[in-house]
Structure formats: structure tokens, C-alpha cells
Amino acid sequence: MRFKWILLLVLLWTVPVAAAPPAQTACLPTQFRGDGMENAIVTPGDPNNVREFPSRNAALVGQLAPGTVFNLVYDDAVCAESFLWRHVAALGINGWTAEANATTYFILPYESPAPAVVATAPAQGSLIVDSGGVTFTVPTALGITAVMQEEQVGIFDLDMMGGMPSSVRYTLVSGLDPALNGTIDIYHYHDSEAAYAFFDYDAADLEALLDNKVDLLQAAQSPGGLTNMPVRAAGAIFYGLPQYQPFGNGNGLRYLTVFAQNFVVFSADTPYEYFYRGLSSDDQFLIAAHFPVQVPATILPPEIDPFANEVDYTAYLAQFTQVVDAQAASAFTPNLGWYDALLASLTITDAAALSTSIR
């Protein structure tokens, strides 16, 4: 009997006991507000893998190098497999990357440096900008009192029909009204092309227009109109007074327009815009300028109901464009020749410094 008890105890002692499942390692708390479209930067070290969904076993869709600045998409953080995952969007990339594991952060919130004043005023009164590898002169007649330089982090909103690569921006500050401020953005041209591909836009080829010097009035009447790079969420309503306008070390074109997603009835208060796109001669940089313009009240057509008849509205646009094209540059406020002179003076003096300042 004693032998049976001993045998039973031996058997119980040797029967394997099922191991408890390993505890899920807690993730570090997120460093982001969670209100959507925040910017993040990859910390020094290895690149961050971006995967199709929040798992180390998911397909790899790209990598974000250390120092890369990108957007967080408006999705909650996901703690899985001991990693805190975030949905991200960058140039050509849409997926999930690790914000942190149980001990280390791999991405952190990013805030752009504050804008800096970069203009000086010589005796004749024009503003001279020489900063970030770029120089240009702002004519006195434009009434600009300061020029600010700042970093613009690219925006790739997956829920909207639009996106913008990163740029360095020069804001021309009006001494009269902030609504009269203008901007010059300088992009890496290859990023602008990639932004088009990322959002699957069918856009006019800016290089072809500038290389072939086709008739711009004729090109403006084509189905796609003139080029609109980088991508914008709204399209140009009309293309008025188009002309080729070179800058210091490149070529470009400009026209007047209004950007909108729906019908526009023209009035004195309509936000008309001097729109410029240029490419450096080495195709490295894209110059994008947007300046406010007022059209003469005498050329405004009678208002119509654009929703009443789409055919009538098409004729309305064509009639207004034709009248605009017949005007002299001096008929507008400000004189379009002053904007042309500003763009003609723009010169890239240090490509390496400019490239560094574009995130």
C-alpha cells in the first residue's frame, strides 16, 4: 500500500503543469494630443518601419529615416505586440509605425521653428531678401513692410482630395491688410511630382509647357487647363492673362485665377490670385507664388445664377476670361508688372542650403 502511495506522488510530481500565458507588456503612453494631423519626427537611430496594419507581421510598405518629419493620421493609437502603433502619412507612404515599445520612443511630436524676419531695407526702400540660399527684391510699390521665412511641413491628408509636399515659405507681409499678404514657396520638384502620383491626379506637365513654350492662351482652353502644382484641394476657375515669366535661374509661367471647388460668381470682393509656377534650370526646385490681385470693377460681368444653367455658366467663364486677357498689366491692383519684376529677381544662390531648409 505504501508503494502505491509513493507511485501516485511520483506521478503527480512529474505531470507537466500548463504554463500561464505571458503577460502583455504595457506600452508607453502616447506623446501626441490625438486631435488629428499632428506632425511627428523619427528619433535618431534606426529607420522606422511602416506596415500595412499595426503588427510586426504585417506587410512592410516603407521606411521613415531618422529625422524625417511626417503627419499622424486621425486614428487612435493601438497597443499590440508590446508596441504602440500610429497611423501615419508621408510622401508615398500610408501605414502604421511604432511610436514606442515598453521602454523607448521611436517618434516624437514635431513643432516647426517660429517664422523669422529675413528682409532688409536699403536706401531706395525696396525689401531685399537674402536668406536660406535664396535672394529676391520686393518692389517698394507693392507696400510690403516685412518678409518672413518659415518651414512648411508637407500635408498628406488621406481623407481629402489634396496634399502638399514640404517647402520653405517666404510670406510678404502687407502694411495695410493681412488679406493682402502674398507667399512664395520653394519645393523639391521631385516631391511635387510624387505628390501627384500619391493622390493619382491627372495634371498638366509643367516641364513640357516650359520646355516647348506652347501658346499659353491655347493651352488654357484645353480640357485640363494650365498646370496647378503642387496639388491643391481646389481647381482654378479660369486662367487669365497667362504668360511665361522666367526667374533668376529658371523658367516659369503665371496667370490670374480664382480657386474653388464649386461655382464662382465674380465680384469686386472675389479673392483673385496671381498664380506662378517655375522650375529651376536643373529641375531641382519648384517655385510657387500666390499673390492677391484686384480686378477693375469695369470688367466685371453681370451676375448670373450658376446653378440655373451649366451651359450659361461655361459661357460666363469664357466671356470673363476673354475680357481679362484683353487688359494691360497696369489695369490691375497692384500692377502685375510689379509681381513680374519680383519673380524675375528671384535667384537660388545656394542650392545645398535651400535643400537643407526644406523638410
Which of 105-114, 132-141, 172-181 has the least mean pLDDT?
172-181
Q: Which residues partner with 261 through β-bridges?
A: none
Tell me the residue range of the domain where 43 lies. 39-109
pLDDT at residue 196, as a whole number: 73
One domain for residues 103 and 146: no
Confidence of residue 155 (pLDDT cuts 50, 70, 90): confident
Q: Tell me the per-residue pLDDT of 276-323, one tens digit each, with 9 for 90 and over.
A: 999 999 999 999 999 999 999 999 999 888 888 877 888 999 999 999
Q: List the one residue out of 255, 248, 254, 253 whose CA is nearest residue 282.
A: 248
CA dihedral 108, 114, 115, 121 (to 10 degrees): -150
> CB of 164 within 8 A of CB of 155?
yes
One domain for residues 195 and 342: yes
One domain for residues 130 and 237: yes
> CB of 30 within 8 A of CB of 84?
yes
Instruction: Give the total residue count for the chain.
Output: 359
One domain for residues 84 and 214: no
Domain at 47, CATH number: 2.30.30.40
What pTM was computed for the model? 0.86
- Domain membership of residue 3 (yes or no) is no
Q: Which residue has the higher pLDDT, 104 or 5?
A: 104
Q: Tell me the per-residue pLDDT of 42-87, one tens digit each, with 9 for 90 and over.
A: 999 999 999 999 999 999 999 999 999 999 988 889 999 999 999 9
